[in-house]
Amino acid sequence: MTPRKHSKAAGQTDIHEQCNKAVEEILEQKLDELATVLSVSGNGKSRLHSNIMGMVEKSLFKIALRRSGHVKSTAATFLGINRNTFSDKMTKLGIDDGKNK
């Protein structure tokens, strides 16, 4: 039997999976902290999921805009979505394009 060689792609996949796992652990820790703060609400139905998802989405859009130099089509590509979808969601999230700042 000959020793099996690891392909470069397999090694890169392992590293990618390890990075994803590390990021997920960090994110889970931070979300747990946020959940503690945000879940302190009165009676009624919790809006924890929608509040956190809105914050995450808004943050991603702001990051994409900064990294793209406020070019919406480039920001949309960065996020892997259509430019029109990006513009529509940007408006719904109340995000200024930042060009006037």
* Model confidence pLDDT, tens digit, residues 34-53: 998 888 766 678 889 999 99
* Model confidence pLDDT, tens digit, residues 49-69: 999 999 999 999 999 999 999
Helix boundaries (H) for the chain: 8-38, 48-67, 72-79, 83-92
| Dist. CA 74–CA 76, nearest whole Å | 5
CATH of segment(s) 9-37+49-92? 1.10.10
Q: Is the pTM of this model over 0.85?
A: no
| Every domain of the chain and the residues it spans | 9-37+49-92
